[in-house]
Amino acid sequence: MTNLFELASASGEFDLFVAALEATRLDCLLAEDRSLTVLAPTDAAFGGVSDAVLAHLVDRRSADLASLVRSHVVRGAFQTADLVGCGWLETLSGVRLPVDALGELLVIGGAVLVRPDLVGANGVLHGIDQVLPARPYTLQRRAKE
């Protein structure tokens, strides 16, 4: 069975996320034996990203890009059945993402799972329709207003 990095690379749906993994050298994280869940933005999800974030994808020296990638990875392997009713997930960057089941949709941190339950040798990959924030800046921004 293929590891999560190989799974993401071979699918053809996550090329920009794979490029971010490679640029930050975090591709090895998804190739390790430890159990992970990856919330991988599809290539279409990057269409809604600001120009500043896209610039970070080009700038391979950016520490923000590594944080952005870590905000899409969770310790432990969670399939959709495990996620329903779990309440929240904490990413490797320390961001807590609420998990909500809305009818037949599963929403994590505001992103809808559009390609769920791609199982690899070391965990589960879910395709999502948005790029998640690297830190909970939206909540901080609202608190200051």
- Domains in the chain: ranges and CATH: 4-144 (2.30.180.10)
Output the six-digit token pair for 145.
């207003």
How would you list the strands of the sheet with 105-108, edge to edge? 73-75, 36-41, 123-128, 111-120, 105-108, 96-102, 88-90
pLDDT-based confidence at residue 51 (cuts at 50, 70, 90): confident
Distance of CA 102 to the CA centre of its chain: 20
Q: Return the pLDDT at 144.
A: 41
Cα–Cα distance measured from residue 81 to residue 105, given in angstroms and rounded to the nearest whole number = 12
Q: Return the pLDDT at 91.
A: 96
Q: What is the pTM of this model?
A: 0.86
Residues in the chain: 145
Q: Return the pLDDT at 45.
A: 92
The helix or strand, by DSSP H or E, that contains position 80, with its residue range, turns out to be: helix 80-83
pLDDT tens digits for 71-81? 999 999 999 99
Contact 60, 23 (CB under 8 A): yes
